[in-house]
Amino acid sequence: MNKDKALEELFLAQKPHFDDSDAFMASLTKRLDAVEYIKQHQEATIRRYKMAMVVAFIAGLIVGGIAIAYILSTPMDVPVFSFKTQFALLQWLIDNSRLITVTAISLLTTFGIAAFINNIQEIKTMRSAVERAKQLSL
């Protein structure tokens, strides 16, 4: 309560003075133009993010589909990769190369979808910040 009184007294004690209204209006106009420029830049950035996100999502779907189609179209007894060795661990990797590859592709697809959703949420946050800035400037 005391802080409110102190703030009220501080604001009442403040007596703004305007020497030249033309200089004040020029300064205000310049600041408003700067705010408008920043808003336009933020909106352009949001549009670029959205376009890049859509392109990355479509490219990921196409590449993921091609990779899975390739894995499924090759014969079961042909490994996806080989090391040309008889070392036991590497032989196990060769024998399970299909399962390992499909799992890796699935994990990458899951990571991509999670990143896509995260980007959508970031863009919504940026858009709401731009909207709040517009409302404050009005």
pLDDT (tens digit, 0 to 9) for every residue of the chain, 138 residues total? Answer: 566 677 677 767 766 665 667 777 788 788 888 888 888 888 888 888 878 778 877 887 888 788 778 877 878 777 777 777 788 888 888 888 888 888 888 888 888 878 888 888 788 888 888 788 777 766
How far CA 95 is from CA of 72, 78, 89, 92, 132, in Å, comes to 16, 9, 10, 5, 57
Residue 18 domain flag: no
- State the first-to-last Cα distance of the chain, in angstroms, to the nearest integer: 31
Residue 89 domain flag: yes
Q: What is the pLDDT of residues 59-81, one digit of tens each?
A: 878 887 887 788 778 787 777 77
pTM, 2 dp: 0.49
Residue 91 domain flag: yes
Sign of the Cα pseudo-torsion (131, 135, 137, 138, in order): positive
Alpha-carbon 78 to chain mean position: 40
Residue 121 domain flag: yes
Contacts of 133 (CB under 8 A, 6+ apart): 35, 38, 39, 42
Residue 14 domain flag: no
- Considering its fold, how many domains does the chain have in total? 1
Name residue, tokens 């899951």: 110
Residue 2 domain flag: no
Range of the domain at 104: 50-138
Residue 114 domain flag: yes
